[in-house]
Structure 1
Amino acid sequence: MWVTGEAYEPYVGRWSSQVAHRFVRWMGAAPRESWRDVGCGTGAVTRAVLDLADPATVVGLDPSAGFVAYARRTIADHRARFVLADAESLPFADSSASVAVSGLVLNFVPDPDRAAAEMARVVRPGGLVGAYVWDLGDGGMEIIRAFWDAASALDPEARALDEAVRFPLCARAPLGELFVRAGLEDVEVDGITVPARFADFDDYWQPFLGAQGPAPAYVATLPEERRGALRERLRSALPRAEDGSIPLRARAWAVRGRRPG
């Protein structure tokens, strides 16, 4: 579903970077710690850690060779390195890190409970574990909510593909419960909202033609006539500012907890 950073960044990567910075500050980790960025993607969380947390080291990992290559190419910092690995089987020893985090990943993992348990395993006792996912369940990720509302109005079969239906983890209560089941203490969940303003309709629509992610993958299956109908329904439905820009918001749910001990 996710292959290259070049397609991901204009779609949601630009908003993820804003959320990542607020998330890293919210984690409240001490300086000079050892971090693990699970499902690092294009490196948004790693960049935020390097910019804001004064880490000793950050190891980012992702199962996508394209994403790992993109992160290596765009992040030149001796404190960071990137490896190919799976969130359900982290290639780190027990208690080998101080902080383990994951941005916009856990809903795509086949077994999120396994991934959360792995993140808890690799941090030392007293270490921090954190994650964030887009608010798909309550509609706070307006970029994606607007798309699926339009798609479902034109195609009843699209309702089954709606990310709010497919990813029930992406809501406040399920995310907190995931960390509690992983055995973490002092679990907190909070919302992080950032503005997502598009210069014009093309700025909004073009990333959906990249065929990566659930919504762009759906667009790629449509014949031209149906794709055009979806485009025009979105064009008429999205809000417009006086300058022609499209003012939306992107909200994520963030969760953090501490390994007992």
Structure 2
Amino acid sequence: MADEIWAVGDAYDTYVGRWSRRTAASFLGWLDLPGGGRWLDVGCGTGALTATILAVADPAGVVGLDTSEGFLAVARTRAGDARAVFRHGDARSLPLPDHGFDAVVSGLTLNFVPEPARAAAELARVAVPGGTVAAYVWDYAAGMEMMRYFWDAATALDPAAAELDEGRRFPLCAPENLRALWTDAGLDAVAVQPIDTATTFADFDDYWRPFLGGQGPAPAYTMSLSEDHRDSLRELLRARLPGGVIALTARAWAVRGRTSH
């Protein structure tokens, strides 16, 4: 199995971070929370969601937490705001006291946590009574088109690649499963919403280049291939994707709920 590296912030940002920033803005618009709150961003990565919270949510402060020191280094550099603090930590055992945050959020992370139910319970634990707990994940099975094209082509050339396909590996990334996760964590007023983001690539090279960065399952798989196999995958994708400007859609599923008073 390809090694799923999550450490180099710039490579991740080129691959998917640039699209996650747009999704983050739509997510926060959906939450529509008042300013002045204390926020926690679990699995903050390179800081796309944290930066968007700072820009549009008028928080009193934001704590960004991640297991990757490489991602945290990029997030600290990019934040440029004294209201943001970044810490190392695991979503399954948050190094934080109970009831400390008005809003606890997580972007594009929960499907990578080995025990998502434990993580959801931890997110609820650190929220104040009546606080908001919310998250979003890519719709790998269908709506995250840049990855769907990739894995369909990879599997056509190498049936064993199906084992790495996020659409198969992450059943959490579906509305009914997210709703159940939040409900089982004891959250109230649970709602699920699709968020669609346009992902436009100037040409095929703009689409293909991020898969050579090694960050995440698809790029890690790409770089594990022999040169000949990688060339075959590239050319099959080129044949299947539209010519010229490539306009695709990235769909995420978002879930929110409130802790009990």
Q: What range describes the TM-score normalised by the shorter chain of this pair?
A: over 0.9
Deviations along 1:24-55, one digit per CA (max 9) or x if unpaired, are 11112121000000000011111111111110
1:158, distance to aligned residue in structure 2 (A): 0.7
1:145 to 130, 145, 148: 148
Residues matched between the structures, number: 257
1:253, distance to aligned residue in structure 2 (A): 0.2
Task: Give the equivalent residue in structure 2 for 1:185.
Answer: 188
Residue type at the aligned position of 2:165: D
Residues 133-212 of structure 1: pairs in structure 2 closer than 5 A? 133-137=137-141, 139-212=142-215
1:257 is the counterpart of 2:257: yes
For structure 1, list consecutive stretches of 5 or more residues without a partner in the other structure: none
1:220, distance to aligned residue in structure 2 (A): 1.3
2:57 to 44, 53, 58: 53
Distance across 2 between alignment mates of 1:239 and 1:27: 35
Task: Give the equivalent residue in structure 1 for 2:101.
Answer: 97
% identical equivalent positions: 58
For structure 2, list consecutive stretches of 5 or more residues without a partner in the other structure: none
Distance across 2 between alignment mates of 1:4 and 1:227: 22
TM-score (norm 1): 0.97
Task: Give the secondary-structure state (helix, strand or coil) at the position aligned to 1:195.
Answer: strand
Task: Give the secondary-structure state (helix, strand or coil) at the position aligned to 1:9.
Answer: helix
Distance across 2 between alignment mates of 1:66 and 1:160: 27
Distance across 2 between alignment mates of 1:150 and 1:124: 46
1:217 is the counterpart of 2:220: yes
Distance across 2 between alignment mates of 1:181 and 1:4: 34
Distance across 1 between alignment mates of 2:13 and 2:215: 11
1:249, distance to aligned residue in structure 2 (A): 0.6
1:35 to 36, 39, 58: 39
Task: Give the equivalent residue in structure 2 for 1:235.
Answer: 238
1:246 is the counterpart of 2:246: yes
Deviations along 1:50-86, one digit per CA (max 9) or x if unpaired, are 1111100000000000000000011110111101111
Residue type at the aligned position of 2:93: S
1:101, distance to aligned residue in structure 2 (A): 0.1
Distance across 1 between alignment mates of 2:196 and 2:132: 22
Task: Give the secondary-structure state (helix, strand or coil) at the position aligned to 2:24.
Answer: helix
Deviations along 1:135-155, one digit per CA (max 9) or x if unpaired, are 112x10001000000001111
Distance across 2 between alignment mates of 1:239 and 1:23: 29
1:26 to 27, 30, 35: 30
